[in-house]
Every structure is written in C-alpha cells, then in structure tokens.
C-alpha cells in the first residue's frame, strides 16, 4: 500500500468540502431487448419487472459507497434500450412505455431514466415514427423519463425529415408543459453522433451493442479545476495551465474509476466506462465558465473563449484517459447554459450569444445545451438550429446535441426557472430570419467525404 502523504489527504478533503468535487452520476444501463413483445401491455410489464429486478439495489449501493468513501454521489440513474426498437415490435400507444419506465424508475428510487429514444440518422421505421410523435405527451405525463433522438451521424449524414419533425416536437414538448416551466423540452435531446454508453441525462440510452446490464459513471469537478488554475497564478503559460488541468483531471477520474468498479462489484454487474465530462451545476464554484474566466477571460463568451475551451476539453481528456481502464460516454466539458452560473451571467448580460455557443460546441463535448429560446421561435427555426449543430458534429466526427427550450409566454431578456440541478436560464435572442424553405425540403444531407474510410 502506498504511503499517503498528509497534504494529499487534506487536498482530497478540500476538493470535496470546498470545491464541489463529486460523482455526478452512476448510471445503470439495462437492455430491454428481451422485453419486446407484440402486445404492448405485456412488453411494459416485462420492462417494469426487469428494471425492478436489475436496479433494486442501485440507490442503496451508491448511498453506502458515498458514505464509506466520503464522496458525494449526486445522482443514480438508469438508461435503457431505445424504446423505438420495442415500439417497432409492439406498435400501439408509445406513451404506455413512458409510463411504465416512469413507474419503474420511481420504484427503484433513481432520479431520471433515459432511453425514450429513437435512432433515425439514416431513416425512420414505423416504430421510430410512433415514438417521436409521442414524445411531447410522454414527457408531459411522466416525471423522470428522458428522451433523445439521434438525427445524424458522420457515417450516415443528417436525416433532414427527422430534423423537421424534431423542431416541431421540441416546440410541442415545451407547449404541453408550459405550466411547468416548459420542463418537457428540458428532458429532450436531439443528437448527432449519439454515443451508446453516455451516463449523463437527458441524453443517456443503453445502446444495442452494450451488454445486458452495465454500470457507467460520470464524474464532475469544475470547481477543483478552477482552483488548480487559480493557484497557478496569472503568470503561468498556457501549456503550464494545460498540464495543471491534466493532473487535476487525472485525480478526479481516478475517483470515478474507484467508485465505478466498487459499485459494479457490489451489484454484480460489469463496469462500463468513466465519462470524463466536466459537468457544472448552478452551485457557486461549480462552473465551467468560471474555469475559462480563471484562465484569463474577463467573461465567458468574449474573444478567446473558444481557444480556452478547446484547451480545457483536450487537457481533461488527456489527464483522464490514463486514470481509467475504460473511458467513454461524451467525455469533455459540458456547457449547459442554465446549469452554470458563469454561463447564466454571461448570457444575461449579452456577452454570450447563441452563435458563440455554437462555435464553442465545435471544440467541446456536447452542444447547445439547456438554451432557453423566446416563445416566438418557430418550429422551423428550432429545426434549423438543430441542423446547424448536427452539421458541426457530422463534419467534425464528434457528438453534438441540442437541448433547446422554447419558453412559452416569455421573450428575450426574461428568465425561465427549472430549479434543482437544471438551474435557471435567461431567454436568449434568436435571429428570426426564416429557414422555412430549407427545412421544408426534407430529405437527407449526405454523409461527408471522410465517412468513406474503408
């Protein structure tokens, strides 16, 4: 056993107590392929049984580990096989699946269940259609169900018919939950190049190439990275800063690896991956934006932001990759506007605009995340924003996503409150020039040249 030095012990305690270091999520992936049945009611019953059976000890195990190791585990979650696959077998009213998932999730005590999903990057099956059209109602009548739709990939191109549909679905999801802060849209992610082992919500689903049951872990620690950068002082060069971020990411990831392997050992299921994402929360000091500002920007969103974010994202990966036996998921820095106090401040005073966020998504992990749009944003405009974001993902061989929330009843400058981990978001102005003709064309944007690697 290695000799642990006193200052290392104090450093770890400080990270947890003062710098918001935590395990953001332990997510159990459960395959539901064996629950498919031509009778939707039978299928739903099997789903509930399987989830209940696999995840019954998940929350308790996480609580025990959290206590014994002294590390907060913020969320326990479940991801399941994209439900569109089951809907393809059963047909019928897809909402029943959402209700079954919601009930099963509540029984196990997890705080979100993801996988009300369809993968339609190349084309749409009748099951996919059923599922996509049921999303707004499914999200309105459940509490814990999260939905995602993959509309593009580097290999397949972008399914513009699905993009058009999803613009409408995002709007409807917000409209149906307008009395609940448009919360439906906050549980819906539209992806390009979605990954199959992502532990983070709302975009988590259990891919079909995954084992029957697996445990994935998402770590977090923007506050720790920021403090390390602060200690380096303003004279450190950018490569020195990158080096510091790498070392910090290593430590954070090792903690995730330890918790993940221990949890999977206790639950008797295989350990999947550690997702190296730096995930912010609205808590003071738990902000990715503040890291960028600590590197030397007056405020996030100004010139220099994209360069700092690119370095941060890369350094986090380099540090984390050696610390874990298996890295996966989205692995990068998240920039959800409403969940990050630094982003909220910059968006509220106009320094951070939608277009700058789009540029930032080209170099960081996900995409336009938790962005609140004015009520008058049309379905076509939402589709066009999704298409732009998907194009960045498709061309750059990376995951991009949109979680856009049209704030029904609100205009640019207003604020939409979600509460909890989802925070609050200033309504961001959108350039309202119509992309209607382009969106109405539908069809597909063909896969780019570099998809032809064989």
Which spans of this chain sit near other proteins (rule: CB under 8 A)? 1-2, 4-6, 8-13, 63-64, 67-71, 251, 254-255, 257-258, 322
Nearer to other proteins, 258 or 269 (CB): 258
Task: Specify whether the CB–CB gap between 55 and 78 falls below 8 A.
Answer: yes
Nearer to other proteins, 66 or 117 (CB): 66
Nearer to other proteins, 33 or 250 (CB): 250
Minimum CB distance to other proteins, residue 252 (Å): 8
Strand partners, 142: none
Nearer to other proteins, 23 or 140 (CB): 23
Nearer to other proteins, 12 or 306 (CB): 12
Minimum CB distance to other proteins, residue 221 (Å): 11
Nearer to other proteins, 16 or 335 (CB): 16
Minimum CB distance to other proteins, residue 321 (Å): 13
Nearer to other proteins, 4 or 437 (CB): 4
Separation in Å, CA 417 to CA 186, 240, 275, 358, 423: 11, 39, 28, 23, 7
Minimum CB distance to other proteins, residue 2 (Å): 5
Minimum CB distance to other proteins, residue 304 (Å): 31
Minimum CB distance to other proteins, residue 334 (Å): 22
Minimum CB distance to other proteins, residue 365 (Å): 23
Nearer to other proteins, 60 or 155 (CB): 60
Minimum CB distance to other proteins, residue 22 (Å): 13
């Amino acid at each position: 056993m290695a000799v642990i030095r006193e200052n290392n012990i104090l450093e770890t305690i400080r990270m947890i107590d003062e710098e918001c270091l935590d395990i953001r999520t332990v997510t159990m992936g459960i395959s539901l392929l064996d629950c498919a049945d031509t009778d939707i009611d039978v299928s739903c019953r099997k789903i509930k049984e399987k989830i209940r059976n696999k995840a019954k000890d998940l929350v308790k195990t996480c609580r025990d580990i959290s206590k014994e190791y002294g590390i907060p585990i913020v969320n326990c979650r479940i991801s399941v096989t994209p439900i569109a696959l089951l809907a393809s077998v059963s047909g019928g009213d897809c909402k029943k699946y959402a209700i079954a998932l919601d009930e099963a999730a509540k029984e196990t005590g997890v705080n979100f269940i993801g996988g009300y999903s369809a993968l339609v990057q190349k084309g749409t099956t009748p099951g996919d259609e059923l599922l996509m059209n049921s999303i707004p109602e499914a999200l309105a009548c459940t509490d814990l169900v999260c939905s995602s739709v993959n509309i593009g990939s580097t290999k397949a191109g972008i399914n513009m018919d699905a993009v058009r549909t999803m613009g409408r679905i995002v709007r409807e999801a917000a409209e149906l939950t307008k009395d609940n802060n448009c919360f439906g849209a906050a549980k819906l992610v539209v992806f390009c190049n979605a990954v199959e082992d992502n532990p983070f919500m709302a975009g988590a689903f259990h891919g079909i190439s995954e084992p029957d049951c697996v445990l994935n872990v998402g770590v977090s620690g923007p506050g720790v990275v920021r403090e390390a950068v602060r200690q380096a002082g303003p004279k450190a060069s950018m490569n020195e800063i990158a080096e510091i971020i790498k070392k910090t990411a290593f430590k954070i990831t090792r903690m995730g690896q330890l918790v993940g392997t221990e949890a999977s050992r206790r639950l008797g299921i295989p350990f999947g991956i550690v997702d190296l994402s730096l995930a912010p929360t609205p808590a003071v000091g738990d902000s990715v934006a503040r890291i960028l500002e600590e590197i030397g920007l007056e405020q996030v969103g100004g010139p220099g932001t994209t360069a700092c974010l690119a370095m941060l994202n890369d350094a986090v990966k380099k540090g984390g990759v050696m610390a874990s036996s298996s890295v996966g998921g989205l692995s990068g820095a998240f920039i959800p506007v409403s969940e990050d106090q630094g982003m909220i401040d910059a968006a509220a005073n106009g320094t951070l605009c939608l277009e700058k966020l789009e540029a930032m998504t080209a170099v960081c992990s996900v995409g336009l995340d938790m962005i609140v749009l004015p009520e008058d944003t049309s379905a076509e405009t939402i589709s066009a924003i999704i298409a732009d974001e998907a194009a960045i993902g498709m061309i750059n061989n990376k995951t991009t996503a949109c979680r856009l929330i049209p704030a029904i009843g609100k205009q640019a400058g207003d604020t939409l409150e979600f509460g909890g981990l989802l925070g609050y978001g200033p309504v961001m102005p959108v350039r309202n020039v119509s992309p209607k003709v382009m969106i109405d064309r539908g069809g597909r944007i063909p896969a780019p040249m570099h998809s032809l690697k064989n």
